[in-house]
Structure 1
Amino acid sequence: MQWNSASEFFAMGGYGLYVWGSYGMALLIMVVEPLMAARRHRAALAAAAQDEGL
């Protein structure tokens, strides 16, 4: 596929919203998932430490 301008590239032949939206969602998930995993890990460690103290 060949584009004559940057706007044609970003429009992706009329599918730009779908293509770039998909890339955006994938990027968002790749950023949020490690943060949520770290949060769950800290919570699990805190729960384990609390259980040890009983």
Structure 2
Amino acid sequence: MYQILAMATAAFPRRRFCIMRDLMPIDVMLSEAEIDLLSDSGAQPTILYARSIV
């Protein structure tokens, strides 16, 4: 577990992060206008469901 934390800290030195296990990506169906709004902000219409967050 400590190796994962060290790798994440090195890869993203000034960003917040969390470690997730047993995750499932869920795509969200949106209209074209909603997708455009998300894309403009740099986001994607996806939900991550995780059974364990460290």
TM-score (norm 1): 0.23
Q: Which has the higher strand share?
A: 2
TM-score (norm 2): 0.23
Q: Which has the higher helix share?
A: 1
Bigger Cα Rg: 1
Greater RCO (CA < 8 Å, at least 6 residues apart): 2
